[in-house]
Amino acid sequence: MENSIHIDKLLAGHMTAIDLLCSTGTIEFATDVKTVQNSRNGVVYKVTYEGFNFSLLFDSSHIILERCGNIIDYLLRVNDPNERIKVRICFEPTKMGLLVGDSILFEVLKKIEKDKVEEFLLSQYKTIEYSSPIYIPNSISSWARKQDLVPAIDYLDYDYLKNAVSSVFAAVEGKILNSNMYLAFWDKRSQTKNGFPKIEIHNHNTLLGLIQDECLVKGLEVNQEPKAGSGNVDFCIFGYIRSIGIRNICIEVKNAHAKDLKKGLIEQLPYYMQHKSADFGIYLVLWYKGDYFDKPQYEDYHLMEDRLHEIRNKKGYSKTIRIITLNLSGRDKVL
């Protein structure tokens, strides 16, 4: 199927193409009942790209939301063709929800105490959880730029680029928490009772899905690099610096309990940076220690970070390597 994106004029001013090309987001707009009643398979928005699809249709009083084969079919509860309704769509890597604000809902809201409104609205979403996390294909960013769907961004200097890339990874833990995605980083097939942390390479696609939408918005290109000299570099992120051109930043992912945690910081990542001509790198450490896992020996990840900072600084990498830790010990939140 040909790659394409369509946004109906109904959504003008309410969303852009970028909103459809993210792994997490909220779309909200207003319409009237007759528009939904009279439409026959009417496309409100639709994006199709290499097996990924995300669409919203109006069809004979039905509002149909689909994301990669996961479907929510909502039948309007009101029949007055002139009534205005509000439609809100929320989507995350693990689930999506549809809320329709109509006269029935608004009447109930009038009787609810203010501090209970948010809780009530959450209960009114029609939701569906995916059997596995859904992310947009990594290559969609290049396609989107060629289609002029996202703005071209150039950074003033390398420091701006470093800060932009660092902020992308610093936001990942919040996304995992908000989407309750801890279990995605644990191997449930393990023979141990509580599972076992996945090896680093098995987390790459999950991490990629969590950063690619923000990279798209920030004008960054993210690639999983196959080889760098005699080893692998996990990610390379490219950005355009004004008057200089394209520059890249290397990212090495390492489990906190890995035997080569120190080596990854002071040998592997600097080696990759040298071979990729990168002046800055991020050491992304995945921390699992908690109720279900007892490694490494540090009591908490802050103590581990202090030690890693000490090692990094002694090697003279304090200005060229940033250490970011993701706390993935929260499996009790999903069990």
On whether residue 198 sits in a domain, the answer given is: yes
On whether residue 146 sits in a domain, the answer given is: no
For residues 59 and 194, state if they share a domain.
Answer: no
Q: Averaging pLDDT over each range in 15-19, 231-235, 277-281, which range is the top one?
A: 277-281
Q: Measured at the alpha carbon of residue 251, what is the angle toward residues 246 and 255, in degrees to the nearest 5?
A: 175
Please tell me the distance from the alpha carbon of residue 38 to that of residue 61, in angstroms, as a whole number: 7
Residue 321 confidence (pLDDT): 96
> Pairing between strand 4-7 and 42-49?
antiparallel
Q: What percent of the chain has pLDDT over 70?
A: 94
For residues 88 and 178, state if they share a domain.
Answer: no
Residue 36 confidence (pLDDT): 97
On whether residue 144 sits in a domain, the answer given is: no
Classify residue 22 by its DSSP letter: S
Residue 67, strand partner residues = 54, 70
For residues 101 and 243, state if they share a domain.
Answer: no
Please tell me the distance from the alpha carbon of residue 94 to that of residue 89, in angstroms, as a whole number: 14
For residues 29 and 94, state if they share a domain.
Answer: yes
Here the CATH number for the domain that contains residue 180 is 3.40.1350
Residue 241 confidence (pLDDT): 94
pLDDT, tens digit, 9 for 90 and up, residues 247-272: 999 999 999 999 999 999 999 999 99
On whether residue 138 sits in a domain, the answer given is: no
Of residues 16 and 86, more confidence is placed in: 86
User: How long a stretch of residues is the chain?
Assistant: 335
Work out the mean pLDDT of the chain and round it to a whole number. Answer: 89
For residues 326 and 182, state if they share a domain.
Answer: yes
Residue 190 confidence (pLDDT): 55
Comparing 139-153, 163-177, 295-309, the range with the smallest average pLDDT is: 139-153
Residue 227 confidence (pLDDT): 46
Count of structural domains, the chain = 2
25 pLDDT higher than 70: yes
Residue 1 confidence (pLDDT): 60
Residue 145 confidence (pLDDT): 80
142 pLDDT higher than 90: no
In our burial notation (b when 16+ CB lie closer than 10 A, e otherwise), range 119-133 reads eeeeeebeeeebeeb
- Interhelix angle 158-170/172-179, nearest 10 degrees: 20
For residues 97 and 156, state if they share a domain.
Answer: no
Which of left, alpha, beta for 293 (phi over 0: left; psi -120 to 50: alpha)?
beta
* Residue 207 belongs to domain spanning: 151-333
For residues 155 and 124, state if they share a domain.
Answer: no
For residues 203 and 291, state if they share a domain.
Answer: yes
Report, as an integer, the average pLDDT of 48-59: 94
For residues 172 and 277, state if they share a domain.
Answer: yes
289 pLDDT higher than 50: yes
On whether residue 135 sits in a domain, the answer given is: no
In degrees and rounded to multiples of 5, residue 70 shows phi and psi of -90, 125
Residue-wise DSSP of 157-201: SHHHHHHHHHHHHHTHHHHHHHHT-GGGGEETTSSSTT-EEPPGG
Last residue of a domain, one of 129, 159, 180: 129
Cα 17 to the center of its chain, rounded Å? 16
pLDDT, tens digit, 9 for 90 and up, residues 214-242: 888 888 988 875 544 445 568 899 999 99
335 pLDDT higher than 50: no
- Interhelix angle 204-217/158-170, nearest 10 degrees: 130
Please tell me the distance from the alpha carbon of residue 193 to that of residue 165, in angstroms, as a whole number: 37
Residue 230 confidence (pLDDT): 46
Classify residue 234 by its DSSP letter: S
pLDDT, tens digit, 9 for 90 and up, residues 95-138: 999 999 999 999 999 888 888 888 899 899 999 999 888 888 87
189 pLDDT higher than 80: no
